[in-house]
């Protein structure tokens, strides 16, 4: 069964406008989910705790204590991370 992460990973055959992309709640949710779990993997690799809010307070959470669903783990470990241009501020 395909997950939201799988569906949004499929490139669209037609160019979509930003407006159309922003209306696609499923794609946005899938991208945020993948981003969160990629951050978990980075924190695990660096053995660095994640900082989260619990009961209105900031707490350190061991990244190894955060389970990653198998379908998402497979997707984010087999799909390269998006590459962005380096930001250079205007002079």
Judged against a pLDDT cut of 80, whether residue 84 lies above it is answered with no
Mean pLDDT of 71-82: 85
Give the whole-angstrom CA distance, residue 3 versus residue 26.
Answer: 10
Per domain, the residue ranges of the chain are 17-78
Q: What angle do CA 29, 80, 86 make, to 5 degrees?
A: 90
Give the whole-angstrom CA distance, residue 43 versus residue 3.
Answer: 24
Query: Which tens digit of pLDDT belongs to each residue from 6-36?
Result: 454 455 546 888 888 888 888 889 889 999 9
Q: What is the pLDDT of residue 76?
A: 85
């Amino acid at each position: 069964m395909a997950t939201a992460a799988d569906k949004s990973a499929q490139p669209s055959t037609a160019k979509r406008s930003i407006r159309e992309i922003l209306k696609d709640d499923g794609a946005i949710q899938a991208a945020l989910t993948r981003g969160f779990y990629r951050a978990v993997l980075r924190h695990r690799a660096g053995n660095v705790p994640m900082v989260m809010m619990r009961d209105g307070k900031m707490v350190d959470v061991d990244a190894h204590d955060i389970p990653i669903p198998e379908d998402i783990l497979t997707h984010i470990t087999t799909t390269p991370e998006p590459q962005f241009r380096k930001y250079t501020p205007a002079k």
